[in-house]
């Protein structure tokens, strides 16, 4: 399980964009987005770097805060 801080997520649209980006890396990923806390939890077998890069390329800077 990876936990990313995604500070620029502000609404449901952002959350959807981030989720779609992660699904492109791993269609089986389980994703929980907490917009208020700027947190994205991902359960995936994909490397965390691939997920972080996908989120960034979708327009959202992020950092891994737990794994
Ligand atoms: Cu938004």
pLDDT tens-digit readout, 47-58: 999 999 999 999
Q: How far apart are CA 38 and CA 27, in angstroms?
A: 22
Rounded to the nearest angstrom, the distance between the alpha carbon of 12 and the centre of ligand 1 is 6
CATH fold of the domain at 2-66: Alpha-Beta Plaits (3.30.70)
In whole angstroms, what is the distance from residue 60 CA to residue 37 CA?
15
**pLDDT (tens digit, 9 = 90+) per residue, 19-59?**
999 999 999 999 999 999 999 999 999 999 999 999 999 99
Show me where the domains of the chain are located: 2-66
CB count, 10 Å around CB of 56? Answer: 13
In the reported structure, the alpha carbon of residue 10 is separated from the centroid of ligand 1 by a whole-number distance in angstroms of: 4
Question: 16 C-alpha to center of ligand 1: Å?
Answer: 9
């Amino acid at each position: 399980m990876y936990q990313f801080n995604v500070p620029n997520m502000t609404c449901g649209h952002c959350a959807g964009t981030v989720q779609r980006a992660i699904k492109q890396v791993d269609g089986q990923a389980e994703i929980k987005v907490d917009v208020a806390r700027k947190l994205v939890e991902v359960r995936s077998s994909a490397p965390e770097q691939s997920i972080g890069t996908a989120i960034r390329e979708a327009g959202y800077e992020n950092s891994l805060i737990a794994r």
